Structures are given as C-alpha cells and as structure tokens.
C-alpha cells in the first residue's frame, strides 16, 4: 500500500489526477472505474484541464462507475449519471457509449445486477479503480455487512450514509433508500486501486480501514489484501495514521 500525503484537498486532487493521467497515457484504451461524491470532484477538474491543454485524450478510454441510486432517472440532478456528465464526461472527449453506470430506473434488481456485471466483464476488467471512502468504511455503496458482496447488488443504504448524503438533497426524505453498487469482489479484481480521502471527518475511518482488522463490517478494510493500492489523502484525513 502506497500512501501519499497532500497538504489539502487541492493537493490531493492534483496527485490523484496525475495518477489517473499516467494510466491514460500508458494505456490509452484503459478501463477506468469511477466514483462520485465530493472527494473526486477536484480530481475530475484536473483531468478536464489535462484534456483542455492537450495532454490527455479520452477517445479510447472506457469507464464503469461504482454505483447509482435506485429510483433516480438520468435527468435527475442527484443521480450519479447526471453527476458524471456534469463533473467529467461532457467536458472531455470520452465517447458516451464507452461510459457505463447501473440503471437507476431498472425495476428488476436481479436482472440489472446481472446486466451490470456483464457490462464490467465485457470491458476486459478495470485497470484503475478510483474510490472514495464513506464514514462507515463503505466503498461504492457496499455498506457494513456480515459478508462481502461479490458482484453488483442492490443495497439498502444505512442511516449514516443517508444522513451524510442528505447534504446534497433538498430534504433528507429525498435521499433514495436503495442503490445499485458494484460488489467488493469486482472492486478487488481491479488491477490498481486509487483511494482518495480528504478532511478531518475521515481521519478515524482511514485508520480503522487501513490499519485495523479486515472485516466486512468495515468494507474498505479488504483493500489491505489488494496488491496495488494507492491512498492519496490530505493532512487532515491522514492525521491519525
Ligand atoms: C457516497 C458514494 C461513495 C463515496 C462516498 C464518500 O455514498 N456512494 O462512492 O465514495 O459516499 O463520499 P464523499 O467523497 O462525498 O465523502
């Protein structure tokens, strides 16, 4: 596990974007596993700059996103589809047909999970998976549980996740209660993992996840068993390690 400490959110974003940019330059047709949330917004900004100044070409890049809220349409400005378009896709030359997310409006959960697993498999596997970290250790929307989910699954969000994400919705009641998420098994199959953490509120879970026991009660802890993990964090998030 490599750990890079940046001074602040900006520094974290620059470092993370440099790592993703290196992946794109080394393998122009790479498969990127992408994440949502506040953590990657700055990273995506830097990648857009890289595209605008001619350093980065996304024309052959494929992407698979970690998760999507169940019940939200692509047009809903809280959906992860909308987020990805706004924060990255529409600003670079990635082909829309090369971008993938679970379908928030799917009605048959099993069928949607099977479909999304097939989509990920058809890419040939994730070269670099970008991850944020939930306050309870969740990755994607894999919440603390008795066991790890292998493939895509439909999960009931925990109250702590609903509360954390309610800041982005008008009312807490608007936060969807369910989401589709790539499984921990699929995340672990990514060739490289890049996890970004920022802010003092992440310090305790960073310590627990990467220096505590490996348990599905702290989903991110399993990353300790992955052979190519890079953590990029700011001083505040890395303060307790
Ligand atoms: C959300 C997302 C995760 C994200 C996490 C942390 O619930 N489903 O993919 O990593 O919360 O979010 P943030 O980066 O905003 O702290």
Name the residues annotated as catalytic.
67, 136, 138, 143
Atom of ligand 1 nearest to the CA of 39: 14
pLDDT in tens, 23-62: 999 999 999 999 999 999 999 999 999 999 999 999 999 9
Measure the CA–CA gap between 143 and 134, rounded to whole angstroms: 9
Q: Is residue 202 part of a domain?
A: yes
Give the domain CATH number at 159.
Answer: 3.40.50.1360
Alpha helices (H) along the chain: 9-26, 41-52, 80-87, 109-122, 159-165, 184-189, 203-211
Q: Is residue 241 part of a domain?
A: no
Q: Is the pLDDT of residue 9 over 90?
A: yes
- If you take atom 10 of ligand 1, which residue's CA is the nearest one? 132
Q: Is residue 240 part of a domain?
A: no
The pLDDT of residue 208 is 98
Q: Is the pLDDT of residue 160 over 90?
A: no
Cα torsion at 89, 91, 92, 98 (round to 10°)?
20
- Pocket test of ligand 1: the residue of 41, 138, 139 to mutate, having most ligand atoms within 8 Å of its CB, is 138
Q: Is residue 239 part of a domain?
A: no
Q: Is residue 224 part of a domain?
A: yes
Q: Is residue 75 part of a domain?
A: yes
The whole domain housing 49 covers 2-234
Q: Is the pLDDT of residue 92 over 90?
A: yes
The residue with tokens 């809280």 is: 78
How many domains would you assign to the chain?
1
Atom of ligand 1 nearest to the CA of 165: 7
Q: How confident is the model at residue 70 (pLDDT cuts 50, 70, 90)?
A: very high
Measure the CA–CA gap between 241 and 233, rounded to whole angstroms: 11
The pLDDT of residue 53 is 98
CA Rg, the chain, in Å? 17
């Amino acid at each position: 596990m490599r750990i890079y400490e940046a001074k602040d959110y900006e520094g974290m974003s620059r470092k993370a974007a440099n790592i993703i940019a290196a992946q794109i330059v080394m393998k122009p047709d790479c498969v990127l596993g992408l994440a949502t949330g506040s953590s990657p917004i700055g990273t995506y900004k830097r990648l857009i700059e890289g595209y605008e100044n001619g350093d980065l070409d996304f024309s052959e890049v494929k992407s698979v996103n970690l998760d999507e809220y169940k019940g939200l349409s692509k047009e809903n400005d809280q959906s992860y589809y909308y987020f990805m378009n706004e924060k990255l896709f529409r600003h670079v030359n990635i082909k829309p047909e090369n971008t993938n997310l679970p379908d928030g409006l799917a009605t048959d959960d099993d069928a949607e999970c099977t479909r999304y697993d097939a989509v990920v498999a058809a890419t040939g596997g994730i070269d670099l998976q970008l991850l944020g970290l939930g306050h309870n250790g969740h990755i994607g929307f894999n919440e603390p549980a008795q066991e790890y989910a292998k493939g895509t699954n439909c999960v009931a969000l925990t109250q702590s996740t609903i509360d954390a994400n309610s800041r982005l919705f008008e009312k807490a009641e608007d936060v969807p209660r369910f989401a589709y998420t790539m499984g921990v098994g699929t995340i672990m199959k990514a060739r490289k993992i890049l996890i970004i953490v920022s802010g003092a509120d992440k310090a305790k879970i960073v310590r627990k996840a990467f220096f505590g026991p490996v348990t599905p009660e702290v989903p991110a802890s399993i990353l300790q068993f992955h052979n190519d993990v890079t953590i990029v964090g700011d001083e505040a998030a890395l303060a307790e390690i």
